[in-house]
Amino acid sequence: MNPRPALFLIILPVLILFSCTEDDVPPLVDVDMPYVLTHPAHFPKMPIPEDNELTVKRVALGKKLFFDKILSLDNSQSCASCHDIDHAFADPRKGSVGVNGHVGTRNAMPLINLGWEKSFFWDGRSATLEEQALLPIQDPTEMASNLEDVINKLLAHDEYPELFDKAYGEPPSEATLAKAIASFERILISGGSRYDRYVEGDTNALTASEKRGMSLVLDSHTAECNHCHVGFNFTDHTFHNTGLDRGTIDPGRLAVTGDLNDEAAFKVPTLRNIALTAPYMHDGRFETLEEVVDHYANGGQGHHNQTPLVRRFILTPTDKEDLVNFLKALTDEAFVENPAFREE
């Protein structure tokens, strides 16, 4: 039997259907429809750069790029290869593996509430998300590509030129590529943990143990966690040497500022979704939260630049359990399950 007439009968009504809806109903999404960010009331307003207002089309384009292997040298790796949504966009591997099999010395950071961050990477070498976005693409140990090749691939692609035009009114370029990726990163907001429900007034959202752990983290001048992991995103945006090693293995912030006070100092990371983002610290040296807490309670290794805020303190087994239980209450299941953040 010749299948063509049957196929035609199926396609024809579909075509009619499409032409009708296009004539009668205005398009649902306007080209410049703003993307409305939603976040809990106890978060401040997110600063958005004037030249990259958030729109639905920009966010959608950024998402497509984030999951697209076209950004890497041999089309083998996307941003999501190292930033895995199941781990709150962190990498469960100690060091991330680049396109040529190179294993990095730093652990890939989670991507959470980035729109409020003041600098990016463990050493804070990027000041904006737009600036940050182009670096992994060109990093020889990560995606190992170069911007000229990537832009040429995007220009030759059958969808991207139109998508960039709709989002920015311009063809793919370094600037629009960076802006689109940054737009997707800004919507990665996490504020739905049980701790947040507690802050919003639901006093039953945390268990008794978690509440005790919370006061150890947030109020205690023994543990001092709150000196650095402070505010709605559990970071004061500074850099510290927490005494992980006696000597300097990775110069950290020193490489950016040249200031010896920054030797082996690293960015204070958020504690949100921390139960999902193992292994821990800039080099992924600790597998468990208990090991991290032990590091602090033991007072560090005594590096000459170690912060005085990390010093030995007494932590009973119950304290430790409570503290870790509180850290686990910072998990936001709705964040990691959000289909808007997952590859379609």
Between the CA of residue 27 and those of 31, 37, 160, what are the distances in Å?
Answer: 9, 22, 20
3-state DSSP call for residue 69?
helix
Q: Which of 324, 330, 311 is nearest to 213 (CA)?
A: 324
Q: How far is the CB of 228 from ligand HEC (least distance, A)?
A: 3
Q: Is 274 in the site for ligand HEC (CB under 6 A)?
A: yes
Told to check if 183 binds ligand HEC by CB under 6 A, we report: no
Select 181 or 187, whichever has its Cβ closest to ligand HEC. Answer: 181
Applying CB under 6 A, does 73 fall inside the site for ligand HEC? no
Which H or E run includes 267?
strand 266-267
Helix (H) or strand (E) holding 21: helix 4-24
**Span 108-167, contacts to ligand HEC by CB under 6 A:** 108-109, 111, 114, 117, 120-123, 132-133, 136-137, 142-143
Q: Which stretch binds ligand HEC (CB under 6 A): 150-158, 207-215, 224-232, 255-263?
A: 224-232
* Catalytic entry in 130, 142, 210, 263: 142
Q: What is the DSSP letter of 275?
A: G
Give the rounded distance of the alpha carbon of 320 from its chain centre. Answer: 27
Peptide bond into 308 cis (omega under 30): no
Cα–Cα distance, 250 to 264 (Å, whole number): 6
Cα Rg of the chain, angstroms: 23
280 sits near ligand HEC (criterion: CB under 6 A): yes
Query: Please, which residue, 39 or 179, has the CB nearer to ligand HEC?
Result: 179
Tokens of residue 308, six digits: 């005085």
Annotation says 337 is catalytic: no
* Interaction site with ligand HEC (CB under 6 A): 71, 77, 79, 81-83, 96, 98, 104, 106, 108-109, 111, 114, 117, 120-123, 132-133, 136-137, 142-143, 181, 185, 217, 223-225, 227-229, 240, 242, 244, 266, 268-269, 271, 274, 277, 280-282, 289, 292-293, 296, 307, 309-310
Q: Which residues carry out catalysis? A: 142
